[in-house]
Amino acid sequence: MYLGDLMEKAESGQFSIFSFLLQESQTTVKAVMEETGFSKATLTKYVTLLNDKASDSGLELNISLEDENLRLSIGAATKGRDIRSLFLENAVKYQILVYLLYHQQFLAHQLAQELMISEATLGRHLASLNQILSEFDLSIQNGRWRGPEHQIRYFYFCLLRKIWSSQEWEDHMQRPERKQEIATLEEICGASLSSGQKLDLILWAHISQQRLRVNACQFQVIEEKMRGYFDNIFYLRLLRKTSSFFAGQHLPLGTEDGEMMIFFSFLLSHRILPLHTMEYILGFGGQLVGLLTQLIQEMKKEELLGDYTEDHVTYELSQLCAQVYLYKGYILQDRYKYQLENRHPYLLMEHDFKETAEEIFHTLPTFQQGTDLDKKIFWEWLQLIEYMAENGGQHMRIGLDLTSGFLVFSRMAAILKRYLEYNRFITIEAYDRTRHYDLLVTNNPIHKKEQIPVYYLKNDLDMEDLAGIRQLLFT
């Protein structure tokens, strides 16, 4: 499904214009009319409405129309999630979903009154919403969710992750129960989580906390999928710490295993767990390992992998396998997101792996759900293949050779990690003269140039240094 499917007609039209212009900030009126199917009068009206809406909300967003040309301009401080939520705030389908998350059920006449619409209008929106939700094997019946519990939470995670404001995330980050959950998981993993991992964990925990109020959640599907993991040592460690999760709420009798299996499945599939923890879990076998092995075998047949598969590549593949195995459906941001025609392969690529990737997908039925999750998985997998082909799948490793003490080293390593965090294939570690590095960062005045390239720090690690380090890594 598309995020625009939840919007009202006018907002959906405006959002489609915005999404098209987001691909090319400047284009012609004719091109947008052909793309959207709108008349010039409708297009002009929607552009005006969009500009007014952005202005009223204080967002630096504007579409200018001049000489049959359209130009999109967005302020540097304006976030995509703020723009997307702008088009959803008055959408009836979205308001139904939010109401259900925080109230668990509704009576039609009461909800219609609250939304200030007729019961007939509410009924039409519910019928349309159920069509959309069928991709996730979900529906809303008699004012309640119907479907596997892990799918309900996954659906909300896909939705809210695209529209939660920075302030909402910050507020939840400061809550004692969220800090406790992060600390507990870090303790079990024996490693710190990145800021991105913490944010995703916080959102999932918030959704789970709301769903704990629901009686008779359906756990059968996730328990069947995760059969074989009940004895996994990491899962048992997680289970022993149940009281430290779910905001310390007492779980209803008989639901503990179901709740923890849902939580465990989320951790396995959304890049939350550190690499070494994921390796440890997969080392005990299970259905995911079987699917991962199949995928690796097919990739080796096509000579996409060498004899040895790098740890970080296996990690990425395990996340893709876990997503298609555990979940169904996906909410695409717009019709252009994950569209292969819009992708830009690595500049040095001479070969397009699209056909090879499609052939492998066709041999693995699990990867062909027939939902929009297929597009996301295929896109990410193709990017991974291109990455491996470009640099042989080698993990970039940065060595830090500093004459300062441990605290300075830790702080500089943390700054570099934050600065390069978007790239999961970069490791930053203390310099070891016996190891190879893609880049050495040092303030050691007597460092011998055995290793190149080398970046010499003049003083403290500042923005100029960070820019220089990035240039050395990626050029």
Each as own residue / partner, the long-range contacts of residues 334-341 (CB below 8 Å, 24 or more positions apart, any chain) are 334/2, 334/3, 334/4, 334/15, 334/16, 334/19, 334/22, 335/2, 335/4, 335/16, 335/19, 336/19, 336/20, 336/22, 336/23, 338/375, 338/376, 338/378, 338/379, 339/375, 340/378, 340/379, 340/382
Q: What band does 347 get if pLDDT is binned at 50, 70 and 90?
A: very low
Rg of the chain (C-alpha set): 25
Mean pLDDT over each residue of the chain, to the nearest integer:
86
Confidence band for 184, pLDDT divided at 50, 70 and 90: very high
The predicted pLDDT at position 406 comes to: 63
Is the predicted pLDDT of residue 252 greater than 80, yes or no? no
- In this predicted structure, the answer to whether residue 329 has a pLDDT above a threshold of 70 is yes
- Rounded to 5°, the CA angle 417-414-405 comes to 135
Please indicate whether residue 414 or residue 332 has the higher confidence score (pLDDT).
Answer: 332
3-state secondary structure of 197: helix
For residue 431, the Cα-to-chain-centroid distance in whole angstroms is 32
| Residue 473 neighbours by CB distance under 10 Å | 16
Same fold, 3-77 and 396-474: no
As a whole number, mean pLDDT of residues 229-236 equals 91
* DSSP-assigned states of every residue in 380-425: HHHHHHHHHHHHTTPPEEEEEE-SS-HHHHHHHHHHHHHHTTT-TT
Please give the pLDDT value at position 445.
63
Average pLDDT over residues 122-137: 96
58 pLDDT higher than 80: yes
DSSP H or E segment with residue 474: helix 463-474
pLDDT band per the 50, 70, 90 thresholds, residue 62: very high
Phi-psi region of 254 (alpha: psi -120 to 50; beta: other; left: phi over 0): left
Question: Contact at 8 Å (CB) between 424 and 316?
Answer: yes
pLDDT of residue 414: 75
- Bigger pLDDT: 272 or 425? 272
Can you give the pLDDT at residue 446?
Answer: 59
Average pLDDT over residues 268-285: 90
Q: What are the extents of the domains in the chain?
A: 3-77, 92-273, 286-391, 396-474
For residues 366-374, give the mean pLDDT. Answer: 91
Q: Top-level CATH class of 396-474?
A: alpha beta
d(CA 225, CA 458): 55
Can you tell me which residue has the tokens 């040895």? 308
Query: Global pTM?
Result: 0.81
Order of all β-strands in the sheet with 426-430: 426-430, 396-401, 439-442, 454-456
CB atoms within 10 A of CB 8: 16
- Arithmetic mean of pLDDT, 402-421: 71
Mean pLDDT of 176-203: 91
Q: Please name the residues in contact with 452: beta carbons below 8 A apart, sequence gap of 6 or more.
A: 440
Look up residue 393 and give its amino acid. G
- Mean pLDDT value of segment 69-89: 87
The predicted model gives 450-473 an average pLDDT of 74
Least trusted range by pLDDT, from 26-40, 205-219, 355-369, 452-466: 452-466
Q: pLDDT confidence of 394, banded at 50, 70, 90?
A: low
Please give the average per-residue pLDDT across 110-131, as a whole number. Answer: 94
Contact 61, 49 (CB under 8 A): no
Tokens 């709301």, residue located = 210
- Least confident interval from 196-210, 247-261, 273-287, 334-348: 334-348
What is the structure's pLDDT at 348?
44
Least confident interval from 10-14, 77-81, 207-211: 77-81
Question: What average pLDDT does range 442-456 have in this prediction?
Answer: 70
User: Is residue 282's pLDDT more than 80?
Assistant: yes
Q: Of 80-89, 146-155, 333-342, which range is least confident?
A: 333-342
In the structure, what pLDDT confidence band is assigned to residue 326 with cuts at 50, 70 and 90?
Answer: very high
70 or 412: whose pLDDT is higher? Answer: 70
Lookup: tokens for 318: 């395990």
Alpha helices in 226-340 (DSSP H): 233-240, 256-269, 275-282, 287-301, 311-326
Contact assessment for residue 230 and residue 257, using Cβ atoms and an 8 Å cutoff: yes
Specify the pLDDT at position 111: 93
Q: Which of 330, 331, 385 is nearest to 360 (CA)?
A: 385
pLDDT tens sequence across 11-23: 999 999 999 998 8
For the residues 222-226, what does the mean pLDDT come to? 92
- Least reliable range by pLDDT among 71-85, 142-156, 219-233, 361-375: 71-85
Q: Residue 339 has what pLDDT?
A: 84
pLDDT at 346: 46
Q: Tell me the pairing of strands 144-146 and 139-141.
A: antiparallel
CA distance 318 to 315: 5
Give the DSSP letter string of 126-187.
HHHHHHHHGGGT-EEETTEEES-HHHHHHHHHHHHHHH--HHHHHHHHTSHHHHHHHHHHHH
With a cut of 50, say whether residue 63 has pLDDT above it. yes
Diameter over CA atoms, the chain: 79
Say which CATH class 3-77 falls into.
mainly alpha
Sign of CA dihedral 92, 97, 100, 102: negative
Average pLDDT value for residue range 379-386 = 82
